Structure formats: C-alpha cells, structure tokens
Amino acid sequence: MNKRDFLKLAALASGMSSVAPTAMALDFGKMLSAGTDLAKSTTISDQELNAYFDQMTVQYDQQNKVADANSPHGKRLQKLASGLEVEDGLKLNFKVYETPEVNAFAMANGTIRVYSGLMDLMSDDEIRYVIGHEIGHVKAGHTKARIQTAMRTSALRQAASATGGNAAVLAESQLGDLFEKVIRAQHSQGNENAADDYAMAFMKRRNYDAGASVTALEKLAKMSEGSSASWLSTHPAPSARAQRMKSQLG
C-alpha cells in the first residue's frame, strides 16, 4: 500500500480530500449491526466507535510491518512513549510501522502508530508533538464527528452482522473505506489549529520541549516544498502553523 493510498484512507492527523476513488469499495448499506439505521448514525456511542477502531487497528497492524520491540525503532518508541500510557483519560498503545513514509496517526481507541520515516526525520520531542497533535484531533471530537458524517452521507439503512453488542463486524473493504473517510480526510484549518493548541498544551503539561512543535512543523514545511505526494499535503500550511506555534512559546 503506497503512501498516497494510505493518506486517502483515514481521523489523528490529516487533510487530503477523500473524493478520489480507492481500491477498497464500501457498501455502507451493510455496515451497521441489526436494528441500526441512518438516524442512529448521528448518535453513535463511544462503545460503538471504539469497536470500529479496534477492528481497524487489527487490520492495519496486519497489513503493515510492525517493528519488533527490540529493533532500533521499537526501542526508541518505547523510550519516547515512557510515561504516556494514559493521556487525558485516553489509554494509549504504541507501535512503529517500518516504512520510509513520514506519517503517524491516532484513533479514538487509544491506538498510536508512528512511521519509522517520521522517527528518522524528527527528534523525540518533535515526535511527541506529532503524537500530541493526533491525540488532539481525537479529544476534540473530530474523529467521532467524521465517523458520524461518513455514516449519514452514505445512507446507512440496512443491518449487518453484530457481535454481542451494538457494533457491527465490518468486512476488510468496509474497514478500509471507513478508515479513509474518518482518519485521513482533510481537516479544516480550525481543526488543525485546535489540534496544534492541544499539542502545545500537551508538550507543556508533560514538560517536553515545547519548541519542538515549531521545529517539527518547520521540517514538514521544508519537506512539502514542491511535493504534493507527502503526508504534508494533508495538513494546511505547516509553515504558517509553525509561526502560530511560536507565538505560544512564551
């Protein structure tokens, strides 16, 4: 799976349009559990939301090369994630995807996935800023709002298979398309600013180097010059965001 496909695919950090077709076609009419209809999609529960993300996590961990805990990237992630087992009431679990792509994402179930390409580019505190930014999207409700929108606009009407509770078991193709619509669709400038603000507060609260939020964005801005294929295209103007973060350092 190439980077562009992945970026089209998913809600911690991003902003590419989801209008383009993907290889994973989704029949939204079969997504929800028995008795769940279009109206209910506007009031999806946290339990249902996390059930979908649990399924997505399993699928994407299987589809990507996960770094061994004893590998250089695995050991480094363990070090930088030390003390981050729980953040703002969200129990976090971390893994590294071994790929040169520069990326990271978070899900509402506490999943944090960091790409080795991002780790190779950034310092520990810069990575922590990215993690904080992704958590910010989750905590601000951007993830939940997107999954509700995906369901509403897809006219979900029919029941699917349920597993004990209300949440449905989604097919692999369904999970992929939902991941695209929820995790990687373009965030508004307001959403990006809100996630940045959360990340800045996160850095200060955890006594990390808050200036890393600026240097991380400056690195992304440099990478984005002349490139539309990188994950940077999923975030509005990293250079402008870096300037905005500078104003919050005092």
Each residue of 8-24: pLDDT tens digit? 333 333 332 222 222 22
Q: Which domain holds residue 100?
A: 3-246
Name the most confidently modeled range: 147-151, 211-215, 232-236. 211-215
Would you state the pLDDT for residue 231? Answer: 47
Residue of 42 and 133 predicted with greater confidence: 133
**Cα four-point dihedral sign 8, 9, 13, 18:** positive
Sorting pLDDT into bands at 50, 70 and 90, what band is 55? confident
Contact 143, 108 (CB under 8 A): yes
Would you state the pLDDT for residue 174? Answer: 54
Cα–Cα distance between 131 and 113 in angstroms, integer?
9
For strand 86-87 and strand 32-33, is the pairing parallel, antiparallel, or unpaired?
unpaired
Sorting pLDDT into bands at 50, 70 and 90, what band is 168? low
Q: How many residues does the chain have?
A: 250
Instruction: Pick the range with the lowest mean pLDDT from 10-19, 80-89, 161-170, 219-228.
Output: 10-19
The count of structural domains within the chain is 1
Active site residues: 134
Answer yes or no: is pLDDT of 228 > 70.
no
Q: How many CA atoms lie within 13 A of 25 on its CB side?
A: 1
DSSP 196: H
For strand 159-160 and strand 104-106, is the pairing parallel, antiparallel, or unpaired?
unpaired
Report which residue type is found at 212: A
